[in-house]
Amino acid sequence: MANILAIRFGALGDVAIALPVLYSVAKNYPEHNFFLLTRKSYARMYVSPPANLHIIPVDLKEYDGVMGLNRLYSEYLKGLRIDAVADIHNVLRSWILDFRFMLRGVKVARREKSKADRARLLRKTNKDLTPLKPYYQRFADVFERLGYPVRWEFESLDVVVPNGFSSECKYIGVAPFSANAGKVYPLEKTKRVVELLSAIDGVKVLLFGGGAEERSVLEEWASEFENVESLAGRFSMQEELGIMKTLKVMFSMDSANMHLASLVGTPVASLWGPSHPAVGFRPWGQSADSYIQLDLPCRPCSEWGAKPCYRGDWACMKFEPEFIVNRIKSFL
């Protein structure tokens, strides 16, 4: 029996992408133990994991810097007798932990970053939009290099639906925010989308968001329109996953909520502006016709949507709300 450690600290969407990989590899090799080292706040999405998949949630604020990571190794990892490390993050923080294992002769494999392939997608001229491997396959490749090729054995998370919600209802989810502002459809237009969706007979719109500022916006929309409810700040991550399970469709940016809804098997109408599905962040189990995007020669200009628009006009986000609503309605 071997003990294999996977390391992925962030971002939230990337930890979600890793879930089908880890559930599958654990089911593929039930005679071995698999561990995931990740942020405490992200670990909560790993609902009902296989018995041999163990989640190690940590608060990285308590283990800051080289000294902190060395303490993390000593307190959490040294005693696990790890035989191999799958570094599916491949950043300085994970390298420090990798090095500690390598000093003991433990085999370490890291995610390939494919910088040259990304460059051909992101350059301003003569773009080559041949799709790169999706990130979940890149993570799976790390395990294969360790000797554990992955056969997919994941369909959707087995989640509990909170009281008061039912899959019999015609819920439409709207998740209008992203960690990167460049990927956010203009809020005044999103508000119009919510208004139009709320007017559809029998539909109730559920709004998903995070921080205080987002909560304020969503609560304002919910108070202004009938058949609209804001869930921001009211439920745990596991409860939100259960609610997402009841949705007929989730309208989301290219962001974490796109990946979370995909994990519970919910159709997602995802909007892609400066980013592009070809870069590899395609959500699990969603078809290509679920993407809402414009065919522009400048797209993609950014891998994560973090860069300012070099054209200055954000042409990639100029969808009319009615167009988006019609795309969402096609899922109903």
Q: What is the pLDDT of residues 45-99, one digit of tens each?
A: 999 999 999 999 999 999 999 999 999 999 999 999 999 999 999 999 999 999 9
pLDDT of residue 65: 94
Stated pTM of the model: 0.96
Q: Tell me the mean pLDDT in the region 249-276.
A: 97
Cβ count near 278 (within 10 Å): 19
In which band, very low, low, confident or very high, does the pLDDT at 114 lie, cut at 50, 70 and 90? confident
